[in-house]
């Protein structure tokens, strides 16, 4: 058994960023455990030309500490690509480069351990005890603090769930790259979903010269992600604080209304798709269909092809389609890991069984014990999975954990006001 000051469970970008920011702190012994054998980030969507939707400054550390040796720019310098990146004149790194960068950071952190599958977390009356499977053995770690960073899991509509565990050619977008060749061999492929992943897969299949491609979305249109500057001010500390102070019902309504802020398609990709369709149509080889406001209600497999039952959301009409394969670009959902069962009584939950995170991302019933990363969208807003806010959240967590300002945290960066401005409130008794 090894004893530490804090144990992080899960090593995605957010806990890896926390590990990198914790590394220079001599008064914090942190260990991070990850079940995978190396750092990965959406491996099923690391397409050759795919880029991040956020600029390079949204790396693991820069927005907390621009001088950190774990910055993306230092990574480029160390691997000899800083000048090519400069000449390229794009703020948006390739997704494959971001994964390479994450592995570069992880290799330099002694406290980050891969191949550790956490199976159980308990509390012995003094500290948390974390057991992890390593091959055929079990290792035990002990610490007074935990950071839960297990992220989200692929969401599959109930109508399609059974087919992902069968021999039928249906895959979630999270496994697209691994199944790409098999999909290209099919005569037709239908993509269900409307976000960035769906658009990237559609363009990839469309330009591969293989199957007939159909793209179906429940949304009334293939909408772009809004990326204007005043809207970007909502990815800010003060909007996060404002959102957290709203009533639960208001937060839920806002999250539904704000989907175009984080679930849309990049405008450049929308234009690229249209230009590609124009070129293919001009060449007489545009074998594709795009269906909006269309919901998948049932999916059956007869051993040769899928039958899709569909419903048009605006006309109410039910209709059907057939396809050789299905790609479900249906997003991700936050799921509470089962290893927390042994400490459920030490975690705060809301009425829907979700983490009840405080302003500083604590979810423990005892102060200063448990924090969460990317499991608090319902309390802190749509920025929870945003890479650009990861370093900010890590700063808040470290400051909270050590009860001092380890990294300065901005409290106001936006021009606009998100709540009732203090200068405009009526004084008590005023009319």
Rounded CA gap, 64 and 395, in Å? 6
Q: Which pLDDT value is given to residue 24?
A: 97
Q: Where in the chain is the domain with CATH 3.50.50.60?
A: 2-153+333-402, 156-225+263-328
Superfamily of domain 2-153+333-402 in CATH is FAD/NAD(P)-binding domain (3.50.50.60)
Say if CB 46 and CB 173 are below 8 A apart. no
- For residue 427, pLDDT over 80 is answered with no
Q: Is the pLDDT of residue 120 over 90?
A: yes
Residue 429: is its pLDDT beyond 80?
no
Nearest to 376 by CA among 366, 392, 362, 391: 362
Q: What is the mean pLDDT of residues 346-361?
A: 95
Please say if the pLDDT value at position 203 is more than 60.
Answer: yes
- pLDDT band per the 50, 70, 90 thresholds, residue 91: very high
pLDDT at 151: 86
Average pLDDT over residues 353-366: 96
Tens digits of residue pLDDT in 160-188: 888 887 788 999 999 999 999 999 999 99
Q: Between 266 and 262, whose confidence is greater?
A: 266
Q: Is the pLDDT of residue 16 over 70?
A: yes
| pTM, rounded to two decimals | 0.93
State the chain's mean pLDDT as an integer: 93
- CB count, 10 Å around CB of 108? 12
Question: What superfamily does domain 156-225+263-328 belong to in CATH?
Answer: FAD/NAD(P)-binding domain (3.50.50.60)
The pLDDT of residue 426 is: 64
**Mean pLDDT for the stretch of residues 240-245:** 91
The Cα–Cα gap between 92 and 267 comes to: 14
Residue 260: pLDDT band by 50, 70, 90 thresholds? confident
pLDDT for 212? 95
Task: Return the pLDDT at 257.
Answer: 85
Give 290-345 pLDDT, tens digit per residue: 999 999 999 999 999 999 999 999 999 999 999 999 999 999 998 899 999 999 99
By DSSP bridging, strand 152-154 and strand 332-334 are antiparallel
Mean pLDDT on 270-286: 93
Q: What is the mean pLDDT of residues 77-90?
A: 96
**What is the token pair recorded at 151?**
């992220």
**What is the full DSSP assignment across 207-270?**
HTT-SEEEEE-SSSS-PBPP--HHHHTTSSHHHHHHHHTS-HHHHHHHHHHTHHHHSSB-HHHH
Does residue 406 carry a pLDDT above 60? yes
One DSSP character per residue, 335-387 reads ---GGGGGGGGGB-B-TTS-B---TTSB-BSSTTSEEESS--HHHH-TTTT-G
Mean pLDDT of 247-275: 89
> Mean pLDDT, to the nearest integer, of 81-97?
96
């Amino acid at each position: 058994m090894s004893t530490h000051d804090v144990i992080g469970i899960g090593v995605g970008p957010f806990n890896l960023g926390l590990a990198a920011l914790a590394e220079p702190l001599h008064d914090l012994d942190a260990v991070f455990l990850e079940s995978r054998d190396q750092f990965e980030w959406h491996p099923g969507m690391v397409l050759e030309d795919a880029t991040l939707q956020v600029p390079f400054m949204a790396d693991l550390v820069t927005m907390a500490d621009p001088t950190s040796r774990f910055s993306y720019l230092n990574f480029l310098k160390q691997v000899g690509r800083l000048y090519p990146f400069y000449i390229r004149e794009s703020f948006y790194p390739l997704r494959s480069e971001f994964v390479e960068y994450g592995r570069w950071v992880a290799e330099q952190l002694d406290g980050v351990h891969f191949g550790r599958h956490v199976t159980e977390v308990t509390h012995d009356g003094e500290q948390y005890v974390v057991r992890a499977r390593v091959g055929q053995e079990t290792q035990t770690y002990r610490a007074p603090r935990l950071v839960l960073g297990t992220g989200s899991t692929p969401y599959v509509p109930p109508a399609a769930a059974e087919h992902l565990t069968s021999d039928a050619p249906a895959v979630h977008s999270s496994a697209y790259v691994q199944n790409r060749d098999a999909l290209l061999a099919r005569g037709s492929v239908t993509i269900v979903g409307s976000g960035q992943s769906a658009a990237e897969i559609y363009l990839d299949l469309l330009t591969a010269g293989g199957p007939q491609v159909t793209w179906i979305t429940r949304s009334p249109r293939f909408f772009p992600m809004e990326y204007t500057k005043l809207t970007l001010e909502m990815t800010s500390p003060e909007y996060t604080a404002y959102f957290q102070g709203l009533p639960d019902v208001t937060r839920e309504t806002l999250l539904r209304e704000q989907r175009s802020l984080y679930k849309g398609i990049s405008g450049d990709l929308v234009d690229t798709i249209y230009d590609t369709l124009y070129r293919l149509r001009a060449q007489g080889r545009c074998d594709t269909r795009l269906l909006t406001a269309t919901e998948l209600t049932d999916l059956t497999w007869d051993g040769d092809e899928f039958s899709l039952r569909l419903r048009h959301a605006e006309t109410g009409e039910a209709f059907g389609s057939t396809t050789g394969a299905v790609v479900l670009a249906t997003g991700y959902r936050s799921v509470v890991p089962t290893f927390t069962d042994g400490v459920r009584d030490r975690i705060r939950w809301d009425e829907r069984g979700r983490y009840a995170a405080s302003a500083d991302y604590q979810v423990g019933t005892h102060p200063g014990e448990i924090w969460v990363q990317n499991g608090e969208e319902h309390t802190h807003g749509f920025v929870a999975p945003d890479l650009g806010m990861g370093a900010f959240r890590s700063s808040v967590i470290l400051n909270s954990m050590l009860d001092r300002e380890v990294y300065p945290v901005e409290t106001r960066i936006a021009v606009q006001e998100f709540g009732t401005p203090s200068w405009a409130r009526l004084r008590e008794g005023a009319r």
